Amino acid sequence: MENDLLSLIKTTLIDGDPERTATLVQQALSEGLAPLAIVEQGLVPGMTVVGDRFASGEYFLPQLVIAARCMQAAMDILQPELLRRQEAVARAGTVVIGTVKGDIHEIGKNLVATMLSAAGFQVFDLGVNVPGEQFVEKVRETGAQILGLSALLTTTMTEQREVIAALEQAGLRDRVKVIIGGAPVNQRWAESIGADGYAEDAVGAVALARRLLGR
């Protein structure tokens, strides 16, 4: 029965049904399944399939967004129980992420944050319109290995360069890998500003983060 429930949770996430996913997660908890097992054997495998299908072109952005909603609905239920039991999902690394100063676009950034969380990263999402000094302080505070900078406007993409300069000035640049994303940026821009990598989408961001950390 346990395996059946975990398989159903995985399937409903892949199919993109947040309400059904949440209901099954609640049922699994009620039947005594460990919250960590639900995450690691149901939700994460489901997100992996969705990511693979997106990468292959079988799924598109709407399917990715709704899968992220399934994951979030499930984690809203599981997180209090994980904390109560003092359990934690195995961490692949720590990420600070946000949209740079002057830019309030967040859909892509939110999707990257959700996918990184599903992949086992601890994610600190600073939101939108984030000044450089706030990124620097959060990296210092958390000891993050990855900093993700999103910019959706040509007028704000230069802020990514300013944040990297602020990290250098604070003596933190060597301690964190900087990845960038957003509609106007590309790998050439990443190289020109001294970033460690560029990701075109959320699936690519997860792969890049893993690669940069040798996972």
Question: For 77-129, what is each residue's pLDDT tens digit?
Answer: 998 888 788 776 668 899 999 999 999 999 889 889 988 887 889 999 999 99
| Domain parsing of the chain, residue ranges | 2-84, 93-212
Which has the closest alpha carbon to 163: 212, 94, 93, 99? 99
pLDDT tens, 123-177? 999 999 999 999 999 999 999 999 999 999 999 999 999 999 999 999 999 999 9
* 211: number of Cβ within 10 Å: 12
Residue 2 has pLDDT above 70, yes or no: no
Q: Provide the CATH number for the domain formed by 93-212 in this structure.
A: 3.40.50.280
Q: How far is CA 65 from the centre of its chain?
A: 12
CATH code, residues 2-84: 1.10.1240.10
Token code pair at residue 90: 């195995």
- Give the pLDDT band of residue 1 (cuts 50, 70, 90): low
Would 2-84 and 93-212 be classified into the same CATH topology? no
Summarised one tens digit per residue, pLDDT across range 14-72 is 999 999 999 999 999 999 999 989 988 999 899 989 988 988 999 998 998 899 889 98
Considering the entire predicted model, what is its pTM? Answer: 0.77
